[in-house]
């Protein structure tokens, strides 16, 4: 059996590894910039994120080696009798480590984290082209009940 995946909060030192994982992806490749040094916008975003107690950027590790990343945001709202929800974004498994069930361990951990925070729901959107991802999340109990709509601003 695979050693367990542990999740920890990312530090500023992890930004390079996280951006590399975001870029190492069919859709992410054209969206990210992996120059050295990285564009300052990544660090500015990290600093803003780290100041927000409802927003956690996570590193998944096996035996101290980085194998994945994920962001989870906790959102209070009045809907559903004042339910808190968790939003999952930017899930990636490092390419060397794909196909080993690591993504499943990451998402199961995220669900437990949401439960501990008192969330009534976990939600995410997944690009319509990522059919494997939809089957993956449905296997973990997610229901494809909504359309995910995006507006890009200039």
Q: Which residues of the shown chain bind a second copy in the complex (CB under 8 A)? A: 15, 18-19, 22, 28, 31-33, 39, 41-46, 48-49, 52, 54-55, 57, 71, 73, 75-84, 87, 89-90, 111, 114-115, 119-128, 134, 137-138, 140-153
CB of residue 140 to a second copy, shortest distance in Å: 7
Separation between Cα atoms, residue 71 and residue 10, nearest integer Å: 10
Judged by CB, which is closer to a second copy: 1, or 150? 150
CA–CA separation, 154 and 72 (whole Å) = 26
Smallest gap from residue 59 Cβ to a second copy (A): 12
- Closest CB 106 distance from a second copy, rounded Å: 14
Shortest Cβ 125–a second copy spacing (Å): 4
Q: Is 72 helix (H, G, I), strand (E, B) or coil?
A: strand
Of the two residues 22 and 106, which places its CB atom closer to a second copy in the complex?
A: 22
Residue found under tokens 């409802």: 54
Whole-angstrom distance, CA of residue 116 vs CA of residue 114: 5
Q: Is 81 helix (H, G, I), strand (E, B) or coil?
A: helix
For residue 75 the two structure tokens come to 């959102």
């Amino acid at each position: 059996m695979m050693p367990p995946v542990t999740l920890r909060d990312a530090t500023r030192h992890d930004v390079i590894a996280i951006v590399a994982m975001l870029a190492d992806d069919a859709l992410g490749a054209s969206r990210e910039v992996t120059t050295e040094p990285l564009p300052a916008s990544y660090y500015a975003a990290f600093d803003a994120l780290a100041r927000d107690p409802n927003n956690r950027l996570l590193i998944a590790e096996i035996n101290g080696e980085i194998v994945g990343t994920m962001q989870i945001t906790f959102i209070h709202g009045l809907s559903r009798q004042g339910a808190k929800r968790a939003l999952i974004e930017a899930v990636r498994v490092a390419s060397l480590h794909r196909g080993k069930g690591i993504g499943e361990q990451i998402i199961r951990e995220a669900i437990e984290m949401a439960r501990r925070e008192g969330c009534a729901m976990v939600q995410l959107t997944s690009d319509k082209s990522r059919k494997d991802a939809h089957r993956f999340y449905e296997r973990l109990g997610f229901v494809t009940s909504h359309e995910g709509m995006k507006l890009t601003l200039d």
